[in-house]
């Protein structure tokens, strides 16, 4: 790392101007996400984030390389996990990184113009800045994708839980209304979640309503029957209701037995049983 405190100070003094120039250059009419926001608080936060970026990047000219990138990690994580940036297409953010990089190359050229004895070092400084931007952008994209995946997974788990609720009724009874498409992954979740909730709520009779389920493939149908068997093992009786004709055909084709199962055509009829 080739240190140059003068260049560091020169760029640091221009940090505020760099932020204001950058924000004015944003094409707010053709972008979506954080860069197009008209919310005052969002705008001020965005400018603050940009300014803090400059405070860190200037240190490339005074700090040892490992320390420099370690110092940048907190800023990268903050931006990668920022809700406003998560709602912004990642290629828009990368475009702004490139725009800021051009700002730095321009100001380095200005510094060299004022310090002719440093002219032979301009190429080196440009390379240092470009290398720093390449590493920072790559790390940002990695962290952005990682956090976005974690957030998506958490949302999917919440959706699964909300779409497969075990609703407590009276007298240790509970209802499991199933709605929509049930794939293998959701069927596995239903089995695990239902057993856990029935134990937690001390359920001794569970009503499983399938009237909102249109399609049930053979693997999923088998999973539901496995759920019924597992519930029986922990002392929970089950009543099925709302079985559509096509679902009944699937279970028959599978050779799954309805023996010892309490089945009602409607949920109302099932709940009438005390």
Q: What local confidence, expressed as pLDDT, does residue 53 receive?
A: 97
Return the CATH number at 153: 1.10.490
The pLDDT tens digits for 37-80 are 989 999 999 999 999 999 999 999 999 999 999 999 999 999 99
Instruction: Report CA-CA distances (Å) from 196 to 166, 176, 185, 225.
Output: 10, 13, 17, 17
Say whether pLDDT at 163 is over 70: no
Q: What local confidence, expressed as pLDDT, does residue 247 receive?
A: 73
Domain count, the chain: 2
Could you tell me if 53 and 143 lie in one domain? yes
Looking at 132, 158, 184, which one is the last position of a domain?
Answer: 158
**Residue numbers of the domain that contains 171:** 167-271
Say whether pLDDT at 272 is over 70: yes
Could you tell me if 134 and 215 lie in one domain? no
The pLDDT tens digits for 98-131 are 999 999 999 999 999 999 888 889 999 999 999 9
Could you tell me if 233 and 100 lie in one domain? no
Q: What local confidence, expressed as pLDDT, does residue 269 receive?
A: 80
Could you tell me if 49 and 105 lie in one domain? yes
Looking at 158, 190, 205, which one is the last position of a domain?
Answer: 158
Q: What local confidence, expressed as pLDDT, does residue 31 receive?
A: 64
């Amino acid at each position: 790392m080739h240190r140059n405190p003068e260049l560091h100070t020169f760029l640091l003094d221009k940090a505020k101007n760099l932020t204001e120039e950058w924000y004015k250059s944003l094409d707010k009419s053709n972008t979506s996400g954080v860069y197009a926001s008209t919310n005052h608080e969002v705008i001020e936060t965005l400018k603050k984030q940009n300014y803090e970026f400059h405070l860190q990047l200037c240190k490339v000219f005074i700090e040892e390389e490992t320390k420099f990138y370690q110092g940048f990690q907190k800023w990268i994580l903050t931006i990668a996990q920022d809700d406003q940036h998560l709602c912004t297409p990642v290629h828009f953010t990368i475009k702004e990184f490139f725009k800021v990089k051009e700002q730095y190359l321009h100001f380095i050229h200005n510094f060299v113009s004022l310090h002719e004895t440093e002219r032979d070092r301009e190429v080196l400084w440009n390379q240092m800045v470009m290398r720093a931007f390449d590493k920072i952008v790559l790390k940002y994209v990695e962290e952005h994708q990682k956090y976005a995946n974690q957030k998506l997974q958490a949302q999917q788990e919440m959706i699964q839980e909300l779409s497969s609720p075990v609703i407590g009724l009276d007298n240790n009874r509970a209802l499991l209304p199933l709605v929509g498409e049930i794939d293998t992954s959701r069927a596995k979740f239903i089995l695990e979640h239902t057993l856990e909730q029935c134990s937690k709520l001390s359920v001794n009779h569970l009503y499983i309503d399938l009237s909102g389920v249109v399609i049930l493939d053979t693997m999923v149908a088998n999973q539901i029957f496995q759920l019924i068997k597992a519930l029986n093992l922990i002392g929970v009786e089950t009543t099925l209701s709302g079985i559509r004709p096509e679902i009944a055909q699937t279970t028959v084709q599978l050779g799954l037995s309805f023996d010892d199962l309490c089945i009602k055509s409607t949920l109302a009829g099932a709940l009438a049983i005390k």
